[in-house]
Structure 1
Amino acid sequence: MQIRSIGETIGAEVIGLDLKQTLGAETIETLRDLLTRHIALVFRHQILTPAEYAKAVEIFGEPMHSQYAAEFAIDGSPLVTIVSNQHWDKSGNRVKHGQIWHSDQTHRKNPPNYTSLYGVTIPGVGGDTGILNTRDGYESLPEEMKSRLDKMIIHNLASSGRARLADSTKNFILAPDEIAKPGRSHPLIRQHPEAGTKAIYFHALKIDYIDGMSPEETREFIMGLLDEIVNPKFVYRHKWLKNDLLIWDNRSALHQAFFDYDLSQERLLQRIIIKGTPPFGPAMPYQEDVANAQEPNGE
């Protein structure tokens, strides 16, 4: 097994490993450490069925059901969902999954530690997945700004389906019929339980408001924060090849899909999320009783 850095501050490729094979405990521990350190790992040339894909990523934790499992899960593999540019909403508009920086399923008490994607059908050019290192992005900010962020708590919406980008000015439209759906509150700055590092943590389409700000002020603040940290040195853009497996640590990164390609060309990925624990940080310290408590739906 060889390791090759693929980004300035984020990302590594693992070479010479077949994830269909049974891996030893030492190798698994090494891969987990690499993922914590590099935030994102790439495994190329992995020829996997959906069941084999689900088994392969178990080395990083237990796969969990997606919020959208009922709509996009693969038959016979309920933990594997489809991410495709060939999905359409009821109005006939193309569904563009993940087109703004976010961490997955922040509305949950226990959002996923990791998200993984597997390349099935890839367009000829473009369609990258971007991974943003919010650990180094946070550390790059002035001390006064970091101190301010450390105190912030975000209140999340239950579904990003009720929020969408309205236009190029980055304004949001909210659907009133979903305003009452419950979400979760998390610290804006999340501390990594293994590394002890801090990182900026949110889903840009699920943010309702930050304590002390209106929803409108919150959105303006978040978009300004993104302008500060979305720097090429903090971003790894994965250029897909068929049979690539990409996995990243949601506790240290945001991600988005780039729609810079001919949308008549199919882009189809498979996706698995790995169970996590409640986010904690300076604004919401770790509480063991809260971390161990389980909600009625198992989240």
Structure 2
Amino acid sequence: MIINNSDDFVLEILEFHKYTKDKLRKLLLKNKLLVLRNANLDFAGFDSFSNYFGVPEVAYPYKYQALGFETIRLQSNVEGKGMNGGGMYWHSDGPQTKEPSRITLLSCEEAPLVGGETVFCNLSQAYSDIPEDMKLRIEHLEGNYPCRQIYVDDLIEMGLEPETEIVNSLHNLKHPLVKIHPISGIKALYLNENWLKGLDGIPKEESDELLKYLYDFATEKKYLYYHKWEKNDLLIWDNYSLMHKALDLDSQYPKTTRRIRIKG
């Protein structure tokens, strides 16, 4: 039963198990973010369900994989229950691969009483609303993504040892500033406050000014949805259309999630 569609890109669903995988895929394509309530899935169920949407990626860092399930990454601010830190900046998942992650599934095992919301930004609508002269200016620009160095720096900052296998697989990449959805053909901005380090072929001052304009424009309140987590929530979102970030959380309020990303 669909119970809410208060935002133009968010659809809240009860009894999701009554929907076929084809129907869920169509709803995701249309709405960009699905909020499935009371989705009480164990590791095996979560892993199996993710295949509705494509081929899951191998999760890393490896030490935070769920035991027996290499596609599930455990995340928590409770010591020993998962990876803690990261993600508190605007981003779409998977920029470190030539074809970034297409879809992300995030399941909540333990929800905080206060804080820890995840904010989503509708980048396809933001792009649609950008003035035409700005669209022409950014249409063919590419962003620089020094993926290996960013990954290593991020893990060191979290006190983790980067895995040699993963580090060696990462390279400097360029991604278009405007992406075209492979199914709908709809255009959207492609931004990342951590991994995107300037625009290719553009002087730094001009690049910084242009990116600031785009971040400021895209993150206006009308393009945002704040998700307050409840236990057994399962969120599914389209990385071609949205970016997101986690909000800060006091350590006294436990939050534990499980993440699967789908290959682009």
Q: TM-score category by the smaller chain? A: 0.7 to 0.9
Looking at structure 2, the residues matched to 87 and 221 of structure 1 have their Cα atoms a distance apart, in angstroms, of 40
Report the AA paired with residue 6 of structure 1: S
Alignment counterpart, residue 42 of structure 1, candidates 24, 28, 35: 35
Decide whether aligned partners of structure 1 residues 216 and 206 sit closer, same or farther in structure 2, where only a CA change above 3 A counts: farther
> 1:182: how far off?
1.9
> 2:58 maps to which residue?
65
- Tell me by how many angstroms 1:218 deviates: 3.5
C-alpha deviation, 1:96, in angstroms: 2.6
Distance 1:162 1:225, change over 3 A: farther
The CA deviation at 1:237 is 1.3
Q: Deviations over 1:216-265 (max 9, x none)?
A: 65445323311111022211111100001001000001111011x42222
The match for 2:22 among 24, 29, 52 is: 29
Equivalent residue letter for 1:194: I
Contact 2:37 2:232 in 1 (8 A): yes
Separation in 2, partners of 1:81, 1:215: 36
1:77 aligns with 2:66: no
Q: One-letter code of the match for 1:85?
A: N
Residue 119 of structure 1: aligned partner: 108
User: Given that residues 109 and 184 in structure 1 are in contact (C-alpha distance below 8 angstroms), is that contact kept between their aligned partners in structure 2?
Assistant: yes
Q: Is 2:224 aligned against 1:225? A: no
Asked whether the equivalents of residues 14 and 38 of structure 2 are also in contact (C-alpha less than 8 Å), the reply is no
| Change in CA separation of 1:141 and 1:30 when aligned onto 2, cut-off 3 Å | same
Structure 1 alignment gaps of length 5 or more: 89-93, 165-177, 277-299
Taking the TM superposition and a 5 Å limit, the aligned residue runs for 1:174-253 are 182-214=171-203, 217-253=206-242
Over the residues paired in the alignment, what is the CA RMSD in angstroms?
Answer: 2.3
2:257 corresponds to which residue?
A: 269
Supply the AA of the counterpart residue of 1:14: I
The corresponding residue for 1:139 is: 128
2:143–2:176 Cα contact (<8 Å) kept: yes
Q: Displacement of 1:163 after TM fit?
A: 5.8
Contact 1:42 1:245 in 2 (8 A): yes
Q: TM-score, normalised by structure 2?
A: 0.86
In structure 2, what is the Cα distance between the partners aligned to 1:70 and 1:215? 36
Secondary structure, in 3 states, of the residue corresponding to 1:63? coil
- Aligned equivalents of 2:12, 2:176: Cα separation in 1: 31
SS at the partner of 2:147? coil
- Which residue does 1:106 correspond to in 2? 95
Equivalent position SS for 1:224: helix
Greater fraction of residues in helix: 2
The structure-2 alpha-carbon separation of the partners of 1:144 and 1:32, relative to structure 1 and needing over 3 Å to count, comes to: same
Are the counterparts in 2 of residues 108 and 183 from structure 1 also a CA contact under 8 Å? no
| 2:11 paired residue number | 12
Identity of aligned residues (%): 32
Quote the residue 2:140 is aligned against: 151
Give the 3 Å change call, closer, same or farther, for CA 87–134 of structure 1 in structure 2.
farther
1:140, CA displacement in angstroms? 1.1
CA distance in 2, matches of 1:141, 1:86: 41
